[in-house]
């Protein structure tokens, strides 16, 4: 498994991480333990949470398997700031309370990475900085990031932080990649040429911010793997998967990992067999022609 360096404040992490939003669906603590152990066996040491996943129950379930030995082996990321149905909340009070809640549920003394979960239109960067400084000083969080932020939102936040954010987690797949579409259609008067994120990929590459891809197999809320809505894409994934003796899911992840931005992929599967199959992506380096073939098969058009 390839490893990447997100921050000097935490260990190197696997290029593929396990998203824990659905682990409560496994039905037992023992099955959660089996999933985590299987992930570690194939080189995955990164586990992504959020305080809202299953209303906090996902963190609680993960916490039930936490031991000092396991904590040394893994890198934990969680997210805060979404108050479902109410607001996004970057207030100092909410951030501090949210982290304390996550620490309690996860049964750990520290979080490796804390992400602010979607932008808050009422963000006051000075207040966020105060919260981050307290969490860092108390050893509760080692480094910080954001989710679904554009470059200027990150710049505004960084203007008050002692350490710049090190991660931005965005929805990204071959079927949902407006960041790629906008970059390829510069100065073209079409929908794809409309920049919806302010050259986010280029910004993160320049600023050494790790991009994380969530929903790597989805378009909106639809899964494109095996879907009749994406016949040409699936044909391309299957043909290329056969060449590399891998699965279409692994090729879809290899497509993400082929980008020179060094995007870390967060996989939400709770099936051990599928997680192991997807890890094959770490050993696959698609050719330029294959990368573009997959992109075009998703219904994209080069200008």
Per-residue pLDDT averaged across 178-192, rounded? 86
pLDDT tens, position by position, 151-164: 999 999 999 999 99
**CATH topology assigned to domain 3-225+249-284:** TIM Barrel (3.20.20)
Asked whether the beta carbons of 253 and 218 are under 8 A apart, the reply is no
pLDDT tens, position by position, 208-242: 999 999 999 999 889 999 999 999 999 999 999 99
What is the SS3 assignment for 98?
helix
CA-to-CA distance for 205 and 4, rounded, in angstroms?
14
H helix runs in the chain, sequence order: 29-41, 57-63, 68-73, 92-106, 125-137, 151-158, 178-184, 200-207, 231-244, 248-257, 272-278, 288-297
Q: Which residues contact 44 (CB under 8 A, 6 or more apart)?
A: 1, 14, 16, 17, 18, 275, 279
| Class of residue 91 by CB neighbours under 10 A (exposed 0-12, middle 13-18, buried 19+) | middle
* From 53, 203, 219, 295, the catalytic residue: 53
Per-residue pLDDT averaged across 297-303, rounded? 94
Q: How much is the pLDDT for 221?
A: 83
Task: Give me the chain's average pLDDT, please.
Answer: 96
Per-residue pLDDT averaged across 162-189, rounded? 93
Per-residue pLDDT averaged across 52-57, rounded? 97
pLDDT over 90, % of the chain: 94
Reading phi first (left if > 0) and then psi (alpha if -120 to 50, else beta), residue 186 is in beta
Per-residue pLDDT averaged across 35-62, rounded? 98
CA-to-CA distance for 274 and 250, rounded, in angstroms?
9
Domain ranges of the chain: 3-225+249-284
Asked whether the beta carbons of 216 and 253 are under 8 A apart, the reply is yes
pLDDT over 70, % of the chain: 100
Clarify whether 53 is annotated catalytic. yes
For residue 193, what pLDDT band results from cuts at 50, 70 and 90? confident
For residue 198, what pLDDT band results from cuts at 50, 70 and 90? confident
């Amino acid at each position: 498994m390839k490893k990447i360096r997100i921050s000097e404040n935490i260990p190197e992490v696997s290029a593929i991480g396990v998203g824990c939003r659905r682990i409560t669906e496994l039905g037992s603590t023992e099955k959660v333990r089996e999933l985590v152990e299987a992930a570690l066996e194939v080189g995955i040491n990164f586990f992504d949470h959020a305080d809202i996943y299953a209303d906090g129950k996902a963190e609680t379930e993960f916490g039930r398997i936490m031991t000092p030995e396991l904590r040394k082996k893994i890198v934990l990321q969680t997210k805060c700031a979404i108050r479902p149905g109410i607001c996004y909340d970057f207030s100092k009070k909410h951030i501090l309370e949210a982290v304390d809640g996550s620490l309690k549920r996860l049964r750990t003394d520290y979080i490796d990475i804390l992400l602010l979960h979607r932008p808050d239109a009422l963000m006051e960067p000075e207040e966020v900085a105060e919260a981050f400084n307290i969490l860092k000083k108390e050893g509760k969080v080692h480094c910080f990031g954001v989710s679904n932020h554009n470059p200027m939102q990150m710049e505004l936040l960084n203007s008050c932080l002692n350490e710049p954010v090190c991660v931005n987690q965005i929805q990204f797949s071959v079927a949902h990649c407006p960041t790629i579409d906008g970059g390829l259609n510069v100065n073209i008067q079409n929908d794809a040429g409309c920049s919806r994120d302010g050259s986010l990929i280029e910004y993160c590459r320049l600023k050494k911010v790790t991009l994380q891809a969530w929903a790597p197999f989805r378009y909106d809320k639809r899964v494109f793997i095996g879907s009749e809505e994406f016949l040409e894409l699936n044909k391309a994934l299957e043909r290329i998967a056969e060449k590399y003796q891998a699965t279409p899911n692994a090729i879809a992840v290899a497509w993400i990992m082929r980008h020179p931005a060094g995007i870390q992929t967060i996989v939400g599967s709770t099936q051990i067999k599928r997680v192991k199959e997807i890890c094959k992506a770490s050993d696959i380096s698609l050719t330029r022609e294959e990368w573009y073939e997959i992109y075009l098969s998703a219904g994209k058009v080069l200008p």
